[in-house]
Every structure is written in C-alpha cells, then in structure tokens.
Amino acid sequence: MNTNTRESPADIIARVEAASERLLTPCGDGHMVWRRWGGTSDKPYLALFHGNFGSWKHWIHNVTVLSEHFRVLAADIPGFGESAEPPKPYTAHSLATIVAHGLVEIAGATAPLNVAGFSFGSGTTSEVAHLLGSRVRKAVLVSAGRNMDGVTRAPMDPFVKWRDMATREERLAAHRRNLEVIMISNPQRIDDLAVLIQSTNAEQARLRSAFIAKDATHRFVTPQLKCDLATIWAEHDSTIGPYMHERPIWLKKYHPNARYGIITDAGHWCSYEQPEQFNRLLPELLYPEGLPASSA
C-alpha cells in the first residue's frame, strides 16, 4: 500500500505507468494495449491479466516489484481499459485468441511464458495457456472461483449501480461500496487510490463479460491444461466465504502436483490489499526451485 501521503493517487498511477513501455497488438478494428516493465532483458516473461471491469491498474502494487525478476507484461484485455473491443460474437476462447496472438507477437516465437490472471482474468489465463500449449511453462490462477465443479460460490451483498448516480461524489461513493462488497476485506484499506482505479476501470469497460464467465473455462479448459499450474486464494475472499476448503480439493482432482498459496488478511483483490505477501508468493509459485540466475 502507498505510504507516501504527499503523492496523489493519479501521481502514483502516472509514476508506475511512466516506468513501463506501451505496446500495441491487433484487436478487431483497433489495438490491444499492453504495458511492459523489465525492458528487453533476458529475464523470464510474466504476463498478467486483470479482473472483470479492470485494466493493468489492478496490478499497480505489483508490476514494479515483479519486474525485478521478470519481464512483466500487463494487458488491458480486449474491451477493457484502453484496448479496443473484440469482434462479435465473442466468447472466452475468441477473446483469449486475440490475447494469445498478441503475447506471441511481443514475446517472440520461442521464449517460454509464465501467465497469471486475477478473477475474470484467471479464465483468460487458462484459455491462453490452453491455446499456446508448450509455450507456457506455468499458469497461476489468482482468486479463481467461478464455474468449478464441486466448488461453492458464496452469496454476496448486491452491488451499487453507480451509473444511476447523479453526481461524481455519489458515483465515487458507490465505487467505494462496491470495493467493500467484493474486492477488499478491510474497509480501512479502501484508500483513494483503490477508489480511483475502481472508478476509472469500471467507466472504461465496454465488454459485457457476464455471459463469457458462463463459458465455464475452469470447468472445461483448466482441467485439460498440460502446463504446470498454481493458484493463489485470499483468506477473506467474499466470493469464497466459508468454502475455502473446497478449492484445494478441486485443484488436486485435476492437477495433483499443483501448488497453491493463501494470502492472509486479504479479500478478493489480494494483490492490492496485501501486496508484500503477493509479490513474495507469486515468484515462489512460479519458481519453487529458485528464480533463474539472470533474474535473481
């Protein structure tokens, strides 16, 4: 979390973004937008895919730290953030095809890839890993919990319909409440940066993704993955509630050797709420044997 109270939320975003390189790949009639931290070094690639109604900014507390070990590529999934909308009709598979082609265009034809995705982006991660096959060395699913057989999704409070609000102040209050409903477990950690990211992301999002989630990627595609798989869940994820014990059972059923970690004292958006834990755990899951010498 940011401890420099003199730096505004907009300044934090601008600073992190300024350290990146903006890259474009084809998407429908426009472009898919990526940002890369870590330059063109020989560090391993790590592609990050945000959650629903999100953008690269879901990783605001992670990309700079992770770039010490990886060439980090944070995508705006088609239809979100600054990326163009994908062609219709679209499905989880067609969306991931655009993403996978873009990833190969940036990373080249041979470099091994690590991919990780948060919530809705965990489905994109599995679809991309399935499409790219042996190119992907490891996939990490973060806060995944929808459409897994034998797994219960906890009931949640309803979201506030921010589009119905008349003033900017009312809309920001609605976004703050929605962060409390699903994203962050401790309301005291919902700072102005989180609200700015939530509001900007939601207002930029154009893709209607609800029916894409019903494609049930984690029911049909994730079990078929041939790459190494790992997962991260959060102790107080509102989408999981008291059903955390079901997640490892599901994971081990299809991927007996998969490793997982739980971020303590955090909700659904655990990479934001507990970034120190997350930034330590993700590299450990990707390289339990130790990071490659070039990235240490």
Cβ burial of 3 (10 Å; 0-12, 13-18, 19+) is exposed
Instruction: Give the type of residue at 81.
Output: G
CA distance 187 to 190: 5
Provide the mean pLDDT of the chain.
Answer: 93
* Positive/negative CA dihedral, 263, 1, 62, 271: positive
Coil/strand/helix, residue 184: coil
Q: Would you give the DSSP letter of residue 72? A: E
What is the arrangement of strands in the sheet containing 30-37, beginning at the earlier edge strand?
Answer: 21-27, 30-37, 71-76, 45-49, 113-118, 136-142, 228-234, 259-263
**Whole-angstrom Cα distance, residue 7 to residue 241?**
35
Tell whether the model's pLDDT for residue 269 goes beyond 50.
yes
**84-115 tens-digit pLDDT:** 999 988 889 999 999 999 999 999 989 999 99
DSSP 159-180: PP-GGG-SSHHHHHHHHHHHII
Q: Of the given ranges (63-72, 135-144, 213-222), which has the lowest mean pLDDT?
A: 213-222
Look at residue 296 in the predicted model and tell me its pLDDT. 45
- pLDDT higher than 60, residue 83: yes
Rounded Cα distance, 251 and 135, in Å: 22
pLDDT band per the 50, 70, 90 thresholds, residue 212: confident
The per-residue pLDDT for range 232-242, each reduced to its tens digit, is 999 999 999 99
71 and 40 Cβ atoms separated by less than 8 Å: yes
CA distance 117 to 125: 5
Whether 295 has a pLDDT exceeding 80, the answer reads no
For residue range 117-166, what is the model confidence (pLDDT) as tens digits?
A: 999 999 999 999 999 999 999 999 999 977 788 899 999 999 999 998 99
Q: Domain ranges in the chain?
A: 9-157+208-290
Q: Is the pTM of this model over 0.75?
A: yes
How large is the average pLDDT for residues 69-80?
97
State the average pLDDT over residues 44-52: 97
Q: Quick one: average pLDDT of 56-73?
A: 97
Is the pLDDT reported for residue 64 higher than 80?
Answer: yes
Percent pLDDT > 70 in the chain is 96
Residue 116: pLDDT band (50, 70, 90) is very high
CB 194 within 8 A of CB 275: no
Contact 242, 154 (CB under 8 A): yes
Phi, psi at residue 97, to the nearest 5°? -65, -40
Which tens digit of pLDDT belongs to each residue from 162-195?
Answer: 998 999 999 999 999 999 999 999 999 999 999 9
- What's the CA gap between 296 and 292, in Å, rounded? 6
Q: How confident is the model at residue 131, as a pLDDT?
A: 97
Question: CATH: 3.30.1330.10, 3.40.50.1820, 3.20.20.140, 3.90.1010.10. Which one for 9-157+208-290?
Answer: 3.40.50.1820
